[in-house]
Amino acid sequence: MKWLSVFTLLCILTGCASNPQEKRLLATLYAQKSAESRALYYQAFEQAKMRLTFKLANRSSSKIPAVVLDVDETIIDNSAFQAQLYKDKKSYNKKTWDHWIQAAVGTALPGAKSFLDFAKRKGVAVILITNRRIKNFEPTFKNLKEEGLILKRSQLIMRTDVSSKDKRRHDVMKKYEILLLLGDSLGDLSGAFEVGDTRQRNLEVDKQKRRFGRDYIIFPNPMYGLWERKLGVDPKAFLEGYKKAKKSSK
């Protein structure tokens, strides 16, 4: 039975759990219930306010100043959607996601409205670039407006074809000077991070480390993302370590 427990643990650690929703239970609980997650959002938005103030005082561009933000898990909380999937023993799919979006019941994340109101008072344009598809524009706009996060339709840029946000960011830059980029995924910040290889993404983060907290503000999202890969655990090494520990305890 002890060896069964070890192999069960290995199975969980290496990503072979029979129900993928089980792997997301703690992540959803953390996002939805932990005071730490709430504090991280407040902290990130306060940092964004300080950086925006600094950049406005030191800018020289004649373009309109702007901040560019993602929507989901950046200013809108979808943890209830993830929780419902778990309760229903279902996995993510486009149909259930579209149904959630069309319900327009997402809630503003801590500090989001305060930051966007701050930016507006400073004369900074708020641009939202989301990978929600264009067919869901109306319920998305309705949800954002009801939460006090958006006023104009032109502020919301949806996905039409490719998921990469690079082209949409470049289009924004034709008219605006982007002072800050905010999101829960590195792809919300730069196309340089849009590589599938975990090692390459980590190297790119190291390369651009000075931009985090200055030009980039990243938010915690333990529920989903490109980081969802098997843990770096070597089963043979794990078992060898277990055997050694077992012998030494005798």
Structural domain for 71, as ranges: 35-77+106-221
Query: Is residue 26 helix, strand or coil?
Result: helix
Q: From CA 150, how far away is CA 142, in angstroms rounded?
A: 9
Backbone angles phi, psi at 107, to 5 degrees: -115, 155
Q: Is position 226 within any domain?
A: no
**Pairwise CA distance, residues 138 & 94, whole Å:** 17
In 107-185, which residue ranges form alpha helices assigned H by DSSP? 112-121, 137-146, 166-173
Total domains in the chain come to: 1
pLDDT at 225: 87
- Tokens standing for 143? 């949800």
d(C-alpha 242, C-alpha 85), whole Å: 36
In-domain check, residue 13:
no
Residues present in the chain in total:
250
Question: What SS3 class is residue 213?
Answer: coil
Domain annotation covers residue 131? yes
- Residues contacting residue 172 through CB under 8 Å, at least 6 positions apart: 66, 68, 127, 129, 157, 178
> Residue 165, Cβ neighbours under 10 Å: how many?
25
Q: Of the candidates 47, 116, 79, 15, which has an alpha carbon nearest to the alpha carbon of residue 221? A: 79
Q: How far apart are CA 119 and CA 53, in angstroms?
A: 9
Q: What is the CATH number of the domain that holds 73?
A: 3.40.50.1000
Helix then strand then coil, % of the chain, to nearest 5:
55, 15, 30
Q: Residue 237 domain-assigned?
A: no
Considering the domain boundaries, does residue 62 fall inside one? Answer: yes
**pLDDT the model gives residue 9:** 43
How many CB atoms sit inside 10 A of residue 149's CB? 24
Q: What predicted TM-score, i.e. pTM, was given to this entire model?
A: 0.84
Residue 203 is assigned to a structural domain of this protein: yes
- Give yes or no for a contact between 41 and 114, defined as CB atoms under 8 angstroms apart: no
What would you report as the CA-atom Rg of the chain, rounded to the nearest whole angstrom? 21
**E strand or H helix at 223:** none
pLDDT digit string (tens) for the chain, length 250 residues = 444 444 344 444 444 444 556 668 999 999 999 999 999 999 999 999 999 999 999 999 999 999 999 999 999 999 999 999 988 888 889 999 999 999 999 999 999 999 999 999 999 999 999 999 999 999 999 999 999 999 899 999 999 999 999 999 999 999 999 999 999 999 999 999 998 788 899 999 999 999 999 999 999 999 988 877 656 655 566 566 656 666 666 5
Output the pLDDT for position 241: 63
Output b/e per residue, 176-188; b: 16+ Cβ within 10 A: bbbbbbbbbbbbb
Output the pLDDT for position 249: 62
Q: Residue 164 has what DSSP assignment?
A: -
The enclosing H or E element of 218 equals: strand 216-218
pLDDT value, residue 8: 45
